[in-house]
Amino acid sequence: MKVYSKKEQLGQAISGFKGQDLTIGLVPTMGALHEGHLALVKSALKDNNKVVVSIFVNPTQFNNQDDLKKYPRTMEEDIRLLEAVDAENILVYAPTVEDVYEEGAVSEHFDFDGLEFEMEGKFRAGHFDGVGTIVKRLFEIATPDKAYFGEKDFQQLQIIKKLVAKHNIPVEIVACEICREPSGLAMSSRNVRLHGGYKEAAPFIYKTLKSAKVNFGIKSVNDVVQWVENQFYENEFLDLEYFIIAEESTLKSIDTKNNNTNYRAFIAVYADDVRLIDNIALN
């Protein structure tokens, strides 16, 4: 499997494939790969001849320097996992910060029509400018036909769709369902940092989301929100940062339900210093 650290070399390989009319899929990652990432890679391999997997812990999307420092980095293991999936058709792009950000690691500023100010945007200042900057750059470097993103980061997914639409980027965004541990916990690179009671407590997040979905069918929005907040108030290992019920397209939280609108519940929880997010479609 070829691993590129320089965008020019990756670009040359991609031009060669395009010259042979081969299609390119892109799976952007920050490494510490798990089954969830591999599911994205496998979907991309089904749809495309060649798949670029980028492995880059993007500094501009971290509002918390400690989180950036502690982000797991497992390059050798990541490469081993990808090689086991398809050593011939996967290309890895694992650049340095300088290769991606030639003029210094700063974000471009984006207007995502308000999507960026909801949920994660309220708690992670500048995060979506950082995500927009790196994803736009990866699209320019890899020029993929299709790019794959998980629904765990649902707000990110909606923002990337908006980025592509507003900037007329010729790439199809493919959404992939959340992959879960047997316990129900949404797979995340951060899960390796969960230990002891926190690890045992974390599956409670999805369990509560599933109950919230049942309650959503029979109770008012406020009652569901109150109920979830109480569940976490009583949990000694998990601190709720937010739980909201929002419209899927605008990500705006709601007080009352309408017919013919898709809703989703979104949650962010701290298990010690590990921040976990999850979401569930409600109807």
* Active site members: 37
Nearer to ligand PAF, 72 or 203 (CB): 72
CB of 56 to ligand PAF, least distance (A): 7
What are the C-alpha distances in Å from 45 to residues 22, 51, 183, 200, 232? 12, 6, 28, 34, 40
If one asks whether residue 153 binds ligand PAF (CB under 6 A), the answer comes out as: yes
Nearer to ligand PAF, 61 or 215 (CB): 61
DSSP string, 84-95: HHHTTTEEEE--
What is the x/- site pattern for ligand PAF, positions 125-144, by CB under 6 A?
------x--xx---------
Contact 250, 115 (CB under 8 A): yes
Helix (H) or strand (E) holding 142: helix 127-142
CB of 201 to ligand PAF, least distance (A): 24
If one asks whether residue 28 binds ligand PAF (CB under 6 A), the answer comes out as: yes
If one asks whether residue 30 binds ligand PAF (CB under 6 A), the answer comes out as: yes
Beta-bridge mates of residue 95: none
Nearer to ligand PAF, 36 or 282 (CB): 36
CB of 163 to ligand PAF, least distance (A): 11
Q: Token pair 């089954």 is at which residue? A: 35
3, two tokens: 């691993």
Dihedral sign, Cα of residue 175, residue 189, residue 247, residue 212: positive
Q: Single out the residue of 4, 14, 25, 29 in contact with ligand PAF (rule: CB under 6 A).
A: 29
Q: Single out the residue of 24, 26, 39, 58 in contact with ligand PAF (rule: CB under 6 A).
A: 58
Q: Which residues contact 211 (CB under 8 A, 6 or more apart)?
A: 227
Q: Which amino acid is at 37?
A: H
Binding site residues, ligand PAF, CB under 6 A: 28-30, 58, 61, 131, 134-135, 153, 156
